[in-house]
Chain A
Amino acid sequence: MNSLISLEKVNYQIADQHILHDVDWQIPAGAHITLTGPSGGGKSTLLRIIAAMISKTSGTLIFDGQPIESYDTIMYRRQVSYCFQQPTLFGETVADNLAFPYQIRKQVMDTQRVVTALNNVGLSERTLHQPIIELSGGERQRVALIRNILFLPKVLLLDEVTAGLDENNKQIVHAWLRQLNEQDHVTTIMITHDATEIAAADQLAKVVAGRLEVHA
């Protein structure tokens, strides 16, 4: 099976603190993976390495057939998009945030596409011009998620993005993620501690004390 992302003996350490040990992981294109494990075990570190937000200490990481080092980091991050837990929104309005992916590509915001994306996560067109300080936690998280997919990445890495959301918001985000995965073929890896999400996982992987365990 062809892997979209392949990790071999990936290690990460800060000074003499070993955070990830010899991680081997084959991630097929189109996978929808749930990543779990105890806090401080190294889950976020692993996703941040895959997102090129930090660099592994040793080992190899192959993306789409090429080692990560061979890509321009900025272009790579546009294909492997990382969404933070409790993201901060920029500027003053929702539009400032959704225009950002267009600005960095020197393009004009495609309002139709943005409105469709808002609708897909249960937000109305009116939200676009709303000041960010008026948004609820769930609305903020959904706006942040849209920022990552206005230009569809090949891989979407989600760091506990549903933590702190109520059931209704969680359902909306789950349905939306599944649609991204099934219709748009975006490979997704989602970190979670939520028992329901873990139980519903298609493919489950666990990071415990810096070691990866993959469950079929």
Chain B
Amino acid sequence: MNLAVNNTSLFLAAMLVLVALGISLWQKLGLDRDIVVGVVRAVVQLFIVGYLLKYIFRVNNLWLTLAMIGFIIFNAAWNAKKRGPGIDHALAISLLAIFVSTGVTLGVLVLSGAIKFVPSQMIPISGMIASNSMVAIGLAYRSLNSQFHDQRQGVLERLALGAGLLDASIAIVREAIRTGMSPIIDSAKTVGLVSLPGMMSGLIFAGVDPVRAIRYQIMVTFMLLSANSLGSIIACYLAYRNFYNEQKQLK
């Protein structure tokens, strides 16, 4: 087992960043600034998180664990919100959607005994669930925005025929939920064939028997399916009303 990435090997691995920088400069992609900012942020954020997690795991305090999960959920909601420009209350909607999807999924995992309520399990799993939910919600918002734009005439006609807001929007809402859920369904189909995902790779790295490692990965697939579908459905059903004004007219 080789889990010894020391500072020297990390420094040498940083040469890989030069590959990306070199390509950006050579092809005049204009990404060099973004690459440097991205790399510096990643290093700083990960070091801070590393020390923070070390502290939280050692203290093993219920409230501190919950606060950390809350922080993860808030950040995920904040990022999901950015993908729904023009949707009012997108932060509150995203927060509720991610909170419920993460909470329900975590609850089932803990109650079924798949994970234990200890910070070293709760926090990483919360991060995986919340970030997947965030991506699903972001995709769903983008889909709502583009469909309400492209299918404006169809929505207007349904309204003119006396349809309620949900009847006028249901096709769009369903498509947006589908868009939010499709990446996890696609990845469920190819898991193990194309990618050996993070959870499983990490366990295998740490020397766990692959046959045991896949059980965790199966659990991850189940939990992400649940989180994505809950997150997408809550966000879409709360967000579609934002496309109408109080007089039930399309904005």
Contact = CB atoms under 8 A, between A and B. Distances in A.
Contacts of A54: 249
Interface in A38-55: 51-55
A147 interface: yes
A25 interface: no
A145 to B, nearest CB: 11
A51 B157 CA distance: 11
Contacts of B167: 103-104
A77 interface: yes
A176 interface: no
A212 interface: no
**Residue among A52, A88, A101, A144 with the most chain B CB within 10 A?**
A88
B164 A53 contact: no
Contacts of B7: none
Given A74-B162, A104-B164, A84 B247 contact: no
B163 A104 contact: yes
Interface in B131-162: 153-154, 156-162
Interface in A93-107: 100-101, 103-104
A104 B162 contact: yes
A66 interface: no
B248 interface: yes
Grouping DSSP codes into helix (H, G, I), strand (E, B) and loop, the A interface class, with mixed when no group exceeds half, is: mixed
A76 to B, nearest CB: 8
Nearest to A72: B248
Interface in A60-119: 73-75, 77-78, 81-84, 87-88, 90, 100-101, 103-104
B171 to A, nearest CB: 8
B56 to A, nearest CB: 51
B161 A104 contact: yes
A90 B156 CA distance: 12
Interface residues of B, number: 16
Given A54-B249, A55-B249, A103-B167, A77 B161 contact: yes
A148 interface: yes
Contacts of A148: 160-161
**Residue among A54, A73, A90, A144 with the most chain B CB within 10 A?**
A73
Contacts of A84: 153, 156-157, 160
B62 to A, nearest CB: 48
B161 A147 contact: yes
Contact of A77 (B153, B154, B159): B159
Interface string B146-188: 0000000110111111111001000100000000000000000
Given A52-B249, A55-B247, A73-B248, A88 B157 contact: yes
A144 B248 CA distance: 22
A14 to B, nearest CB: 13
A74 B153 contact: no
A103 B160 CA distance: 14
Contacts of B247: 52, 55, 73
A77 B89 CA distance: 28
A101 B161 contact: yes
A74 B163 contact: yes
A75 B154 CA distance: 19
B248 A90 contact: no
A144 B249 CA distance: 20
A77 B162 contact: yes
Nearest to A83: B160
A158 to B, nearest CB: 11
Given A52-B247, A75-B162, A84-B157, 7 more contacts: A55-B249, A73-B247, A74-B162, A78-B162, A81-B162, A88-B153, A88-B157
Interface of A: 51-55, 73-75, 77-78, 81-84, 87-88, 90, 100-101, 103-104, 144, 147-148, 151
Across the A-B interface, the 4 shortest Cβ-Cβ residue pairs: A78-B162, A73-B248, A82-B160, A77-B162
